[in-house]
Amino acid sequence: MKVKPFRAPRLLLATLAQARAILCGFWCLLCARKFLWLGLLLAVLAVGFLFMPYDLQLLARLHFWTDDQDATARQISRQLSFWGNYPIYNVSLAILIWLYGVLKKSRHWRRVALICLFGSSFAGLFDDAIRMTVGRPRPATNLPDHFYGFTNALQGTYQSFPSGHAATTFGTAAALLVCDLPLGLLAAAYAFAVIWARMELYRHYPSDILVGAAIGIFFGLMVALGARLHRPRPHRKI
């Protein structure tokens, strides 16, 4: 009887090689046109600032429900908001895709899982670096809308700009659109549902969503496209 070798160490090494190749490709792409990417991000932030004077008007137009409809909309929004959290949605989805790749013995899907995880994680980290610095209060607080700075930004009620949900969900969606179009379209539809929920709950202004989504799309695309530049050398199928 032939005994199959224990695959866990080989699988771990293969995953680490894929992760290293993805990160190398992302870094190379980022460095190749660093001033262009920086300019794009600054342009997005500028557009977000231009939208801010119209935030309350745009937010009010989203809430056109009757009393019964409003209760239903808020209940749906709470569910979407909860399941759209980074640990629950982004991390879990990446793990599921990776496990699917393991079961199918597919390097491609294990690689897609890592790309999704890195895309959403980098987007979330960059987003957090901004919102935990500027300290914009959430719409539900009814506080005067301006930036209160780093001291207040450590409180959750002052972390409105930009939207973390928008950054991470669109980070995954953008990465999947490059790697697998049908799955990417589903992820994009879910990302739009999540950002609607965040505005429906008065957790974010439209400008928060705009900038957060742009950050997510940027990092999702950069990781996915950068991953094409560096691939681990294929050996035996693992």
pLDDT, tens digit only, all 238 positions of the chain: 454 554 567 888 888 888 898 999 898 888 887 788 788 888 888 888 888 888 888 888 877 666 677 778 888 889 999 999 999 999 999 999 999 999 988 899 999 999 999 999 999 999 999 888 888 899 988 888 888 888 776 787 888 899 999 999 999 999 999 999 999 999 999 999 999 999 988 999 999 999 999 999 999 999 999 888 766 555 444 4
HSE-up of residue 64 (Cα within 13 Å, Cβ side):
4
pLDDT at 235: 47
For residues 117 and 144, is the Cβ–Cβ distance under 8 A? Answer: no
- Distance between CA atoms of residues 134 and 121, nearest Å: 20
pLDDT at 183: 94
Nearest to 166, CA basis, from 80, 65, 98: 80
- Distance between CA atoms of residues 116 and 109, nearest Å: 10
Domains of the chain, residue spans: 13-227
For residues 174 and 223, is the Cβ–Cβ distance under 8 A? Answer: no
pLDDT at 238: 46
pTM of the model: 0.87
For residues 215 and 123, is the Cβ–Cβ distance under 8 A? Answer: yes
